Structures are given as structure tokens and as C-alpha cells.
Structure 1
Amino acid sequence: MVSPAITALTIRTSATRRECVRPALMRVRIKRAVPGEDPVVKSGATRNDRLTLKMPCKAGTYYAVATDYRNDTATSEPVRLTCPTPTPTPTATPAPTRTRTSTARKTEQPVASVGSALENEVVRLTNAERADGGCRPLTHDAKLRRAALGHSADMANNDYFDHDSQDGRDMVDRIRATGFAGSAWAENIAMGQRSAAAVVRDWMNSDGHRRNIMNCSYTHIGVGAARNAQGQIYWTQDFAAR
């Protein structure tokens, strides 16, 4: 196992299963060392032999824990990380965007011609929640949907669950590969929910996922739903501001 380290303003760790005959579930967690119980700040699972986790850099002491299906555990050495100051890049700030566009877009409706009926029901329910919070509806964008569906299908086909693809790409990499141009991005993922209503409800009951849904600065969304061989649905929501 590789101890957490900083690469391009990102904390990264990897775990590898060696000399294993058959695929088996492996879970990896990044923990932050604090007084009391150490919180898990990033986790992922795979049935392949290697898993890499990445998360935004935040100064602190971190270590990684890998556990297999037999509950055998390996723990890396804790390392103290400091984060370099990122180089500022031009981005549209949420407040001016809302002020400039809210009046003109009050009657804007989501586009229903993108994606499947199931995916568009997720968009509809997401926009209903946003309306309750005073946010304008998101437009279902074909390129964002392509990124979301591609990630859901990849997770379903390769039996893992993580924001980072197994080839090392993250959400922004996948979105940019479709040609979508935006100024800010976010992503929600889920697995196992049987309906659009169930997955939106679960996201709304999770603080981090709810913040993405209720962020009024986002203008576009892509939803992808893909089933694995057992019929379990993997869900991805990609949000963007333009």
C-alpha cells in the first residue's frame, strides 16, 4: 500500500492485491488522524487488483487502510501533509451569475429530449427540489449526460464504486472529454436504488449530495443510469455552471 501523498493539489493513495488467484472485494479508506476516533475522509471499493483514491488537498495527517473480503487489513504509515497554494484560475463566481441570469431565466424549463425516461425523472425530481429552494431548473445537457452515463456504465461493468475511474480520470477529466465547456463542476453517485425517487431522496438526505443539488450557481446537469449483470443500477449526476 502507498501512504497518502500530494500530487497536483490532490491527496492520492493506492492499494494493490498481490498474488491473488481470483477477484475479490477490496475496500480502501483514507483516514485523517485527529484526537478521538479518526474520520474516514475518502473511501472506495473494487474487485480488481488495484484501487487508487484521490481527494482535494487539505493539510493534516493521513493514513490509508485496505481491507479484503476476509477482513484482513493493511494500514499505511501516517504522513503529515501540507498543501501548496493553488494558482488562481478565472472562474465565474456564483453570486454574480445568479444575479445576472435569475430574472431572465425564471421560465426556463429543463430539456427532456436528452437521456432515458428514468434519467429524465431524476432531472425532474432534482429540479423540483431546487425549485423549493429558490434555484432555477437545470438543463439536461447531452454532453454531461454522456459523461455521467459513461461513468455509471464503467462502474457497473467493472464492479467498483468511486468518483475516480479506474484509469485515474476524475469527474472533470470525463466531462472535458465530451467537449463540454464550463466554469464549475460537481458530481453525485449512488448505487442500488431501484427508482429515480429513491435515489434523489437518498441524495437529499446526505449533506454533501444535497449541497450539490441545491447549488443555485449550477445551470446544467447530466444524469446517467446503468445496470450491472445482476440488474443493480449505478447512478451518476454531473453538474456544471456555464
Structure 2
Amino acid sequence: MTYSFWILFYIQTILFAASDVPYLPQGTTQFTRSNDAPVTADAIVAEVNRYRVEKGLAPLKILPFANEMAQQHSSAMALRKVPFSHKGFEQRIERIQKKESRFIERSAENVAYGYLTVNDLVAGWIRSNGHRKNIEGASFNYTGVGIATNENGVLYYTQIFLSLQE
């Protein structure tokens, strides 16, 4: 009996270790690939704007330099140069403000990873109170989005929200 138990335990351990299921921290969800349209920054902005318009809010305009800053952050997270976090957010906003030569009244940032479709990504943000608050920020008028993939094919996302003086 003991011998059989250890053989089964050993086989189960090998099978589990050989599976390609990535480790996901508690509170995250893994999604499977689908035939949805490719995940692009423009598609994310379009889906966020669709949601905003449904809520009676103005759509966000894309700020190209905010896209660059969001892209740099997503790439840094995917390459593990920074942890999955908002680390460096204040510096990103300062750089945007300096580049645009306009006062940023308010700013926020959403980050995520592991989502494989735009709909799943935006739905995940909407289910989270803090992320939804950023998406629904009535004073926000500009946004920037960046997407990067790590060596295992996991997607990392950053969306910056800005209230930029016109």
C-alpha cells in the first residue's frame, strides 16, 4: 500500500510539473486563448471608450507620449526590470508633463497581466473598484496604453489616464 501511494504520488508530481500551467498569484485568473481580435493599444482604448460612453462620459483621446510611457512600463514589467506594480508612476507623469508642456491636473494608472483578449482585460478592470474608478474618471480626457509580452507569452498591460489642460 505505501509503495503504491509513493508511485502514484511520484507520477502525479511529474505530470503536474510537466504541465505548462503557469503559477498565478492568488486573486488572478488565467484565461485561455480565443479567436478574438488581437490585443492592441487602440483596441483597448476603443473598449474603454465604449464603456465610458455607455456611462455618459466623454471618450478619451490618445496621447502618443503617454503611449510611449505606458509601453516602457509594460516592457519593464514583462522583462522583470521592475515588479508588477505602479513603480515609477510619478516619474512617468512628470515626463509626460514636461514633454507636453501642459499642466496635468489629475492622473491614474491601471496595470494588468495575463489577459488574452481586450474584452477580458477591460472586464477585469471594471470588476475592480479601483481600476473602474480610473476608467470612469470624469475629468480624464487623455490616455496612453502599452502592451508587452514576456518570454513565456504572458501579456503585460499599462493604461495611463490624464486630466490634461487643453
Partner of 1:80: none
Instruction: Please tell me whether residue 177 in structure 1 is matched to residue 95 in structure 2.
Output: yes
**Of 115, 129, 136, which aligns to 1:193?**
115
CA distance in 2, matches of 1:229, 1:152: 13
Partner of 1:145: 67
**Structure 1 residue ranges (4+ consecutive) displaced by more than 6 angstroms after TM superposition:** none
Q: Give 1:132 shift.
A: 1.0
Q: Give 1:117 shift.
A: 6.6
Q: Tell me if structure 1 keeps the 8 A contact 2:74–2:158.
A: yes
Cα deviation per residue 1:87-140 (whole Å; 9 max; x = unaligned)?
A: xxxxxxxxxxxxxxxxxxxxxxxxxxxxx9711000000001100111100001
Relative distance call for 1:227 and 1:190 in structure 2 (3 A) is: same
Size of the aligned set, in residue pairs, is 123
CA RMSD of superposed structures (Å): 1.8
Partner of 2:77: 155
Instruction: Please tell me whether residue 124 in structure 1 is matched to residue 46 in structure 2.
Output: yes
Give the structure with the larger helix fraction. 2
Q: Tell me if structure 2 keeps the 8 A contact 1:223–1:237.
A: yes
CA distance in 1, matches of 2:147, 2:133: 21
| 1:1-242 mapped onto 2 (5 Å cutoff) | 118-158=40-80, 160-164=83-87, 170-178=88-96, 179-180=99-100, 181=102, 182-242=104-164
Cα deviation per residue 1:143-196 (whole Å; 9 max; x = unaligned)?
A: 1111111000000011620111xxxxx312113224243221000000100111
Give the structure with the larger strand fraction. 1
Mind listing any 5+ residue stretches in structure 1 that lack a counterpart? 1-26, 28-115, 165-169
Give the counterpart letter for 2:146 in structure 1.
Answer: G
Task: Using structure 2 for the length normalisation, give the TM-score.
Answer: 0.70
Cα deviation per residue 1:178-217 (whole Å; 9 max; x = unaligned)?
A: 4243221000000100111111010001010000000110
Q: Tell me if structure 2 keeps the 8 A contact 1:186–1:212.
A: yes
Task: Using structure 1 for the length normalisation, give the TM-score.
Answer: 0.48
Cα deviation per residue 1:11-45 (whole Å; 9 max; x = unaligned)?
A: xxxxxxxxxxxxxxxx9xxxxxxxxxxxxxxxxxx
Q: Tell me if structure 2 keeps the 8 A contact 1:119–1:196.
A: no
Secondary structure of 2:138's counterpart equals coil
Q: Percent identity among equivalent residues?
A: 32
